[in-house]
Amino acid sequence: MSAPLPSFSAAGFRHGARIALPAFPGFIMFALAFGAAAAQKGLSLGQAMGLSAFVYAGASQMVGLEIWQQAWSPATILTIVTVTAVVNARMILLGATLQPWLKHEPIPRTALNLFLLTEAGWLLGTRYHGNGGRDVGVLLGTAVVLYGVWLLATLAGYFAGALVPEPRRFGLDLVMPIFFSVMLVPLWKGARPALPWLVAGIVSLAVHALVPGYLFIIAGALAGVAAGMLIE
Amino acid sequence: MNALPSFDLATWGAALAIAGMSAVTFLCRIAGVVVMSRVRLTPRMERGLRALPGSIIMATILPVIIDNGIPAILAMAATIIAMMATRIDLVALLVGLGTLSVLRAFGV
């Protein structure tokens, strides 16, 4: 039995929008936190929304705030752009895995799909693809809905972030890692295919202990891919 | 007198920073697809990429979970068990958050 051919449908788009729901809490909490931090740091509403709308990558937006300037120079602009590239380099890997699924798509739609690419949306799409689904509408449906949630929550965080009650009490500070733990289960295909995950985890922990910043994500991910290539 | 009257960084610095950050992020997003459409996917590369979803999850969350101690580790375990048992994302998510807040409330 061969897999169905890649396609794009409105029904798929709606399905994608529906399966995005479990990622909402993580997106809302992260964007609220970003909006609140941006306001506190003295960014204008346009700057905060501009970062969320055009960069649209939570970790790099947070790191960007840490090195945000009141007065910019060519050197500080180059620094923030370089740091952003380092934090978001892992997205190169996400895109690489999507290429076989997207290769028959029209380029403008692929550009839109990739502009809206996030880890959560990619994980949900990968799971659908792993179950034999090939409708690219699902990927885009998930992506568009999550983008809307991100923008609304950034806006809310900018104006009312300080009003959010202690998120730790409800475990919401860790909602993203818990969502990722959920997504781990459908990926499980036995101990042997999961061996690279172990390598990724160990390398990530080691890099996290030794190097400040977000380098541990890309280091662990690359180690996992390398392990996957080496293990027959 | 301003040396660059038509385009000074005091006015445009933040916009330039956002534009630069947006551009490199979009490049990261499209680079994987662009590169892979130009190289032939070998079985070895395919195996490597197949390991990526689980690897990226582990690499992202493990340090955060460990940093947050026993309650976070137990909450992660509860999340995974709930997902294995129910296969319903939202149920597993709520079990994880619930476990974490209960453990913290009891000061674990």
Please spell the DSSP secondary structure of B90-104, one letter per residue: HHHHHHHHHHHHHHH
3-state SS class at A135: strand
Per-residue confidence of chain B (108 residues) as pLDDT tens digits? Answer: 455 555 688 889 999 999 999 999 999 999 999 999 999 889 999 999 999 999 999 999 999 999 999 999 999 999 999 999 999 999 999 999 999 999 999 988
Q: Which pLDDT tens digit goes with each residue over A11-22? A: 999 999 999 999
Tokens of residue B71, six digits: 């309650």
Q: Establish, for the pair of chains A and B, how many residue pairs have beta carbons separated by less than 8 Å.
A: 290
The set of residues, in sequence order, having a beta carbon less than 8 Å from that of A60 and lying 6+ positions away, is: A83, A84, A87, A88, B21, B25
Task: Categorize the per-residue pLDDT at A58 as very low, low, confident or very high, splitting at 50, 70 and 90.
Answer: very high
List A residues 68-97 in contact with B (Cβ-Cβ < 8 A).
68-69, 71-74, 76-78, 80-81, 84-85, 88-97
Task: Categorize the per-residue pLDDT at A3 as very low, low, confident or very high, splitting at 50, 70 and 90.
Answer: low
List B residues 67-96 in contact with A (Cβ-Cβ < 8 A).
68, 72, 75-76, 79-80, 83-84, 87, 89-90, 92-93, 96
Give percent helix, percent strand, percent coil of chain A, each to the nearest 5.
Answer: 75, 0, 20
φ, ψ (nearest 5 deg) of residue A7: -150, 180
Q: What is the pLDDT of residue B1?
A: 47
Percentage of chain A modeled with pLDDT above 90: 85
Given a cut of 50, is residue A220 above it in pLDDT? yes
Q: What is the pLDDT of residue B41?
A: 86
Whether B47 and A74 lie within 8 Å, measured CB to CB: no
Interface mutation vs chain B, best among A51, A72, A80, most B CBs within 10 Å: A72
Q: What is the pTM of this model?
A: 0.90
- Provide the ipTM: 0.92
d(C-alpha A225, C-alpha A221), whole Å: 6
Task: Categorize the per-residue pLDDT at A167 as very low, low, confident or very high, splitting at 50, 70 and 90.
Answer: confident
Distance from the Cα of B22 to chain A's closest Cα (Å) equals 4
Whether A174 and B54 lie within 8 Å, measured CB to CB: no
Residue A20, CB-side half-sphere exposure with 13 Å CA sphere = 28
Asked whether the beta carbons of B31 and A95 are under 8 A apart, the reply is yes
d(C-alpha A76, C-alpha A68), whole Å: 9
3-state SS class at B35: helix
Q: What is the pLDDT of residue A1?
A: 43
φ, ψ (nearest 5 deg) of residue A135: -75, 110
**Stretch A51-55: mean pLDDT:** 98
φ, ψ (nearest 5 deg) of residue A6: -60, 145
Task: Using CB atoms, pick whichever of A92, A183, A205 lies closest to residue B32.
Answer: A92
Whether A223 and B56 lie within 8 Å, measured CB to CB: no
Q: Is the C-alpha dihedral spanning B20, A27, B33, A197 positive or negative? A: positive
Domain map of chain B by residue range? 1-39, 52-108
Q: What is the pLDDT of residue A118?
A: 97
- Residue B56 near chain A (CB below 8 Å): yes
Which segments of chain A are extended strands (E)? none
No. of helices (H) and no. of strands (E), chain B: 5, 0
